[in-house]
Amino acid sequence: TVQFGALQVTPRICYSRPETEEPKTDSFVEVDEITLDRKIRRIFTGWMFAESPGLNAVEHAVYDVWLKGCKQKSDVPPPEAAKTGASQVDTSKPKAAAAPAATEPDSGEAN
């Protein structure tokens, strides 16, 4: 949590795409205002997008808050596909299930 003036900004999670992809940064943020009687009032909870700062804007008379980027690495491990690389994902068509062996109808005769 970072406090600036009467606002406390708490980023819960922040994602930045790798340099090999189109740059996009988004974060789930909670913004609280500390009132004059020292009460905390939540004024914003939601996703912010660095590329579209006006999409989910914090509405406050004094402060403008927008996302510029992620500063700290996440402790959350990346998804498994991101670790192994997309080229190693099996994209082959699923194999059909083997058909059961055909049986001949019982003629009722004993050998």
Q: What's the average pLDDT block by block, 10 residues per block, for the chain (111 residues)? A: 91 87 89 93 93 85 87 62 47 46 50 49
Over the chain, what HEC string results? Answer: CEEECCEEEEEEEEEECCCCCCCCEEEEEEEEEECCCCCEEEEEEEEEECCCCCCCCCCCCCCCCCCCCCCCCCCCCCCHHHHHCHHHCCCCCCCCCCCCCCCCCCCCCCC
Q: What is the pLDDT of residue 96?
A: 47
pLDDT of residue 68: 87
- Please give the pLDDT value at position 1: 87
The reported pTM is 0.60
